[in-house]
Amino acid sequence: MITGAGGNEQVVEHSADGIKIFTIVMMLIGTAVVGIFYAILNDFILGSRLRNFWDAARVPQRNHIVVCGLGSIGVQTALQLVSYGYEVLIIERDLNNRFLDTVRSQNIPVIHGDASLPTTLKAANLDKAECLLALTSNDTANLEIALNAKGIAPRCRVIVRYDDPYYASMAHEVFDFEAVLSPPEIAAPAFASAALGGRILGNGIVSDSLWVAIATMITPNHPFCGKPVCEASTQADFVPLYIETASQTIHGWNLLKASLSAGDILYLTMPAAKLDQLWRVAPFQVAAN
């Protein structure tokens, strides 16, 4: 009855009007159900294959950046690179990744596969890529991806995510990677400085060391309050940029001779590992307070 009258339409023709209306409604519902089921099946079988085929056809040929892993870090990195004008290719093994629609809306091609396999990396034209970033949430997988990438394309720059700061520096020393970065190590200075009245303006890698640019307000209890900038920078090993006071901005040669007063905002850059020295209070200061 869902798609017809069972081959005996005369039964319906001679039935009451209510039966005829019921049969018509059931036939319409049946037709809609079959159509919807066919559409879902067609999309499941052909839709994903067509998307994969289209993404494979759009793989950049040269000078692109390969991002392995479409997690929260991977998607933000890819979007940032695209905003800078670079061609980006993503390798992601999870067909149901929640960020796929986000990157596809930016016309970023995606290869579905295991980035640790040489065949997948070759499909991404790694030998002609400018850089590869291993950004999965698995440290071991990132190392495997990076090592295979160096084996396939030794001249390709490889950036590795490694969550453990200690092993990140060790991996950078042992392997020939351009950079091994630890997200907790990068984020920790921003949280610490915010808690202590500072503000991270940016960061970057200089001579294999993470440097941060920061703005910090000088308070009456700050260890640098009342000291010349030259003395404070030597003590904490930072590079002063400029000072904002209530009445002026001090920079250039006058900066080193200026004294820091309560309410001043000091802009500087320094290694992230020494950031704690900006707020470290000497024992005599603690006693005085």
pLDDT for 140 equals 93
pLDDT for 131 equals 95
What CATH number is associated with residue 90?
A: 3.40.50.720
Residues 191, 188: Cα–Cα separation, whole Å: 5
pLDDT for 44 equals 57
Q: Is the pLDDT of residue 8 over 60?
A: no
| Structural domain that includes position 19 | 9-57
Q: Is residue 163 in a domain?
A: yes
What CATH number is associated with residue 267?
A: 3.30.70.1450
Nearest Cα neighbor of 177 from 118, 134, 117 is: 134
pLDDT band of 176, cuts 50, 70, 90: confident
Q: Is the pLDDT of residue 68 over 60?
A: yes
The more confident residue out of 20 and 217 is 217
The domain boundary residue, chosen from 144, 160, 181: 181
pLDDT for 52 equals 54
The pTM of this model reads 0.64
pLDDT for 283 equals 39
Across the range 257-283, mean pLDDT stands at 78
Q: Is residue 281 in a domain?
A: yes
Q: Is the pLDDT of residue 286 over 50?
A: no
Whether 157 and 202 share a structural domain: no
Q: Is the pLDDT of residue 102 over 90?
A: yes
pLDDT for 120 equals 94
Nearest Cα neighbor of 242 from 211, 280, 216 is: 216
DSSP string computed for 13-39:
HTS-HHHHHHHHHHHHHHHHHHHHHHH
pLDDT tens for each residue of 33-45: 777 777 676 655 5
Q: Is residue 206 in a domain?
A: yes
Amino acid at residue number 63: N
Contact 132, 157 (CB under 8 A): yes
CA dist 172 → 10, 116, 177 (Å) = 83, 19, 6
Q: Is residue 2 in a domain?
A: no
Q: Return all residues near 49 (Cβ < 8 A) that are at least 6 apart.
A: none
Whether 100 and 44 share a structural domain: no
> Mean of the per-residue pLDDT values for the chain?
81
pLDDT band of 10, cuts 50, 70, 90: low
Whether 191 and 235 share a structural domain: yes
Q: Is residue 1 in a domain?
A: no
pLDDT tens for each residue of 181-219: 888 887 877 777 777 667 778 777 776 677 888 888 888
Question: In the chain, how many H helices and how many E strands?
Answer: 12, 11
**Cα dihedral sign, 72-75-78-83:** negative
Residues 219, 100: Cα–Cα separation, whole Å: 47
pLDDT for 287 equals 31
Whether 150 and 84 share a structural domain: yes
